[in-house]
Amino acid sequence: MAAKIIRFGLMAVIAGIFLLAGVMKIYDPQGFALAIMEYQLIPWWGIVVLAVYMPWLELLSALALFIPGWRRASLITLILLLVVFSLALVIVLLRGIDIRCGCFGIGFLDVSAPVALLRNLILLAGAGYLLKFDKFNR
């Protein structure tokens, strides 16, 4: 029972973070595009595509986490997103580019790249844990 409560709490935290991130970026896709541009990783056309696609992916995946039967697909998507975000942060840190995360769009709950990376790794561990104990979701 306690384990179930922990799992639900963890799920609510992960879903809450991605819901907030998705909503903030859907509200201001131009601001999110500027935040992605700071990473200097992809050309402008790719930034535009990501800026309008990724927030919806985050939002829908977070919502799907609460739908029994959809949880595994949702967790796989969220883990993929976290891996991509973390890789981008690692590349930026290795290249010595000084940026803010932009994880919630531009200028909202902004943290430095190392803090964002640490947060991502914690979320990744949480999502991995939920995926491992996914039996109750089927």
Partner 1 sequence: VGVAGFNTLHYLDAVLIRLATLLILPAVLAAGTLFWHPRAPSFAEKPVPKQTYQQVIDSGQAIFWIDARSQAAYDQGHIENAVLLNEDHWNRLFPGFLKRWNPDQMIVVYCSDSGCTRSQEVAARLRKELGGNLKISVLKGGYEGWLLR
Bridge partner list, 112: 100
Q: Are 89 and 82 in contact (CB under 8 A)?
A: no
Q: Which of 1, 3, 69, 132 binds partner 1 (CB under 8 A)?
A: 69
Stretch that binds partner 1, among 2-10, 12-20, 49-57, 121-129 (CB under 8 A): 49-57
∠ CA(63), CA(64), CA(65), 5° rounding? 90
Residue 47 near partner 1 by CB under 8 A: yes
Stretch that binds partner 1, among 5-13, 84-92, 106-114, 118-126 (CB under 8 A): 106-114
CA of 94: how far to CAs of 21, 38, 89, 91, in Å? 25, 15, 9, 5
User: Of 20 and 110, which CB lies nearer to partner 1 in the complex structure?
Assistant: 110
Tell me, rounded to whole angstroms, the distance of Cα 125 from its chain centroid: 13
Q: Are 112 and 120 in contact (CB under 8 A)?
A: no
Q: Which of 51, 82, 92, 116 binds partner 1 (CB under 8 A)?
A: 51
Burial state string for 32-67 with b = 16 or more CB within 10 A and e = fewer than 16: bbbbbbbbebeeeeebeebbeebbebbbbbbebbee
User: Of 7 and 100, which CB lies nearer to partner 1 in the complex structure?
Assistant: 100
Over the window 74 to 93, marking each residue x when it contacts partner 1 by CB under 8 A and - when it does not, the resulting string is: x-xx----------------
The binding site for partner 1 (CB under 8 A) comprises 26-31, 33-34, 37-38, 44-45, 47-49, 51-54, 56-57, 59-61, 64, 69-70, 72-74, 76-77, 100, 106-108, 110, 138
